[in-house]
Structure 1
Amino acid sequence: MAQKYVLTKQLKAVPLDQPIEPGASVVEVITTQEFAKLGVAGADTLSALRTLTEAESTYLDVFPDSLIGSFAVPDKRDLMGETLKFAFYLNKTNLIFIDEGQICTRLLDDIERIGVLKEPTAAHCLFEFMKLLVKDDLTYLADVEDRMEDVEEQIIDRCGNVANRKMLGFRRRLLRIDTFYQQLVDMTGTIGDNENKLLTNGEARLFHSLEKTVERLLKRSQTLKEYSLQLRELYQTQIDIQQNDTMQWFTIITTLFAPLTLITSWFGMNFANMPGLDWQWGYQTIIVVCIVIIVVELVIFKRKKWL
């Protein structure tokens, strides 16, 4: 649904049919078809904008008198789901968002409600809009880290049967948000470079400051990606330890019964004149000897710390 805002001292929503004072900056949220009817952009700009509207990446194109770009923002509530896609057009006095959904209207309403604009310009509005896109991301990444630490504790406690799937989920989500941050760093840096002199020096500095903010988020997400790899290695180490413990247990059992197997094999040869076969206490003596051998082996294993 189309929405119009006017930049006077702050951002203010107005009816679509309200006349705009000369020189006032306007912010609008419209669909692609509605943008084509406005006639504010040339054919090349309009063609590029149509392409960017459905883009799966965050990207910026610089024209002599305008900037156009696309956003593909991961939804923090479902990072593996569909990205939130929309585009924008910026010139000296107009900021137009092309959005088939409600994400742009919701963020602009937040800007209007908070009243955070330092100057009533289209570039300042875009800056505040982009700030809101990453506003709570540091908290989100901290929450991801907390959940990864919980998984680490599960792995150490040898509950790895539920940890593997979670680790893969963390890595996939972090890869997606990491890609978004990388693209957003490029976009903010390009806007801040101000190649077409569309922005004032102050506005360009704002976008460079936003670039640094996103770079910090990017570094944090990359640190968490490395952490996810460490979790995977820790998980594999725990599996190896479990397998080694199992093999060690089987080895101990085999070693314990090896002498007993020798004794039973020896006395199972059934030679007619084998000494001890006719002895009255032979059977009991063999039992005592087997028990003594097992006890001696257990004592040796304990001293060697094999048990």
Structure 2
Amino acid sequence: MAHKYVLKDRLEAVPADTPVAEGTPVAEVLTSKEFVDLSFGTQDMQQSLRNLATVENTYLDVFPSFLIGSFAVPNKNHVLGSPLCFAFYLDKTNLIFLDEEGTSARLLDAIASGGVMKEPTVAHCLFEFMKLLIKNDLSYLAQIEDRMEDVEEAILDHNTDAESKSMLVFRRKLLRIDTYYQQLVDMASGIAENENKLLTHEESRLFLVLVRQAERLLKRSQTLKEYSLQLRELYQTQIDIRQNDTMQFFTVITTLFAPLTLITSWFGMNFANMPGLDWEWGYPAIIVACLVLVALELLYFRKKKWL
């Protein structure tokens, strides 16, 4: 269903069939079919915009008298799933979103309910729209960091098996988010450059502010991505420590029984004149010697803290 908004001193929702005076700034949210029925712009532009509506990339293309682009916003409830995809068209008086899922309408409704806009222009409306896209992202990244800290504590508590999958999920999520912020920075920078002189100086400055906000989020996501690598290294370190402890245990056991193996090998030789073979206390004496030898080894290993 089409949504229509008129910019006066604020963004105001109006019925989709409401006529507006020529030159009045208007924002609209349309499905691909509604956009075709509107017969807006050239056929090439319409086809490009329809293609962008389903592209899973945040992208901007600059033309002499208008801008078109696409958004692929990660769904914070399911980052590894399909992103929220929609396209936009911007000229001097029109801001049109091609959106099959209604995400754009929800954001424009939020702008409309927010009160008076500083500048009632479609470029300023797009700026406010993009601001809302990243409004709570810093808190979201903080939540990811908190969960990563929980994983770190679990690893240090030797609960490595339970946290292996969690680290992989964090890594994949942060890669998705990092890519989104990089593309968003590129888009905001391209709009701020104002190559086709579509924006005023003040509007270009606003998008520079947006660039800085997106760059801070990008740096934050990159920091968390590095943190995920550190978690992976910590996890591998704990695995190595457990393996070393196991190898140390088997080494101690092997060393403990090495002298006994020597004794049994020595007295297992079949020499007729071997001393002690005819001694009635020979067998008990060897048993006592072996026990004493094991006890001395255990005392030595414990003193060296090998046990």
Alignment partners' CA distance in 1, 2:23 and 2:258: 97
Cα distance in structure 2, aligned partners of 1:4 and 1:119: 18
Alignment correspondent of 1:288 = 288
Structure 1 residue 271, shift from structure 2 partner? 4.2
Distance 1:116 1:182 in 2: 31
The correspondence of residues 160-199 of structure 1 with structure 2, limited to 5 A, is 160-199=160-199
User: 2:208 — aligned with what?
Assistant: 208
User: What is the SS of the residue equivalent to 2:197?
Assistant: coil
1:223 to 1:116, Cα distance in 2 relative to 1, 3 A? farther
1:214-225 aligned at under 5 Å gives the runs: 214-225=214-225
1:22–1:49 Cα change, 3 Å: closer
CA contact (8 A) 1:123 1:203 kept: yes
What amino acid is aligned across from residue 41 of structure 2 in structure 1?
A
> Aligned-pair distance for 1:272?
4.3
Partner of 1:149: 149
Report the Cα distance in structure 2 between the residues aligned to 1:53 and 1:158, rounded to whole angstroms. 47
Match of 1:122 in 2: 122
- Deviation, 1:115, is 2.1
Superposition deviation, residue 188 in structure 1: 0.2
Q: How does 1:1-307 map to 2 (within 5 A)?
A: 1-115=1-115, 117-269=117-269, 271-307=271-307
CA distance in 1, matches of 2:176, 2:232: 18
Helix, strand or coil: the match of 1:162?
helix
Shift of 1:207: 0.5
Q: 2:52, 2:288 → 1: CA distance?
A: 86
Preserved contact between residue 7 and residue 121 of structure 1 (Cα < 8 Å)? yes
Aligned to 1:119, what secondary structure does the other structure show? Answer: coil
Give the deviation of 1:38 after TM superposition. Answer: 2.7
Q: Confirm or deny: 8 A CA contact 2:12 2:112 kept in the other structure.
A: yes
**How far is the alpha carbon of 1:147 from its aligned partner?**
1.1
Moved more, 180-189 or 238-247: 238-247
Q: Which amino acid aligns with 2:210?
A: L
C-alpha displacement at 1:116, in angstroms? Answer: 5.8
For 1:13, give the aligned amino acid. Answer: A
Aligned-pair distance for 1:208? 0.7
The answer to whether the 8 A contact 2:6-2:27 is kept is: yes
| Greater Cα shift, 273-282 or 203-212 | 273-282
Counterpart contact for 2:24–2:93, Cα < 8 Å: yes
1:62 Cα deviation from its structure 2 partner: 0.9
Separation (CA, whole Å) in 1 of partners of 2:289 and 2:118: 93
For the Cα contact (< 8 Å) 1:116–1:128, is it kept in 2?
no
SS at the partner of 1:45? Answer: helix
- How far apart in 1 are the matches of 2:115 and 2:160? 49
- Find the residue that maps to 2:160 and give its secondary structure: coil
1:82 Cα deviation after fit: 0.9
Which ranges of 4 or more aligned residues in structure 1 deviate by more than 6 Å? none
1:255-295 alpha-carbon deviations (Å, 9 max, x no partner): 00111122222233354443323434333322221122112
Amino acid at match of 2:155: I
SS in 1 for 2:161: coil
Structure 2 CA distance for aligned equivalents of residues 247 and 160 of structure 1: 19
Compute the displacement of 1:22 (Å): 4.7
Distance 2:15 2:51 in 1: 29
Instruction: Tell me the distance in 1 between the aligned counterparts of 2:143 and 2:303.
Output: 47
User: How many pairs align?
Assistant: 307
| AA of the residue aligned to 1:239 | I
Q: Distance in 2 between matches of 1:64 and 1:258?
A: 85
CA contact (8 A) 2:189 2:211 kept: yes
Gaps of at least 5 residues in structure 2 are none
What TM-score, normalized by structure 2, do the two folds share? 0.95
* Greater displacement, 37-46 / 231-240: 37-46
Q: CA deviation at 1:245?
A: 1.0
Q: Unpaired segments of 5 or more residues in structure 1?
A: none
Amino acid in the other structure paired with 2:297: E
Q: Distance in 2 between matches of 1:252 and 1:114?
A: 71
One-letter identity of the residue aligned with 1:111: I
8 Å Cα contact 2:86/2:97 also seen in 1: yes
Shift of 1:187: 0.4
Q: Whole-Å Cα distance in 2 between the matches of residues 20 and 26 of structure 1?
A: 8
Contact in 2 for aligned 1:72/1:85 (Cα 8 Å):
yes
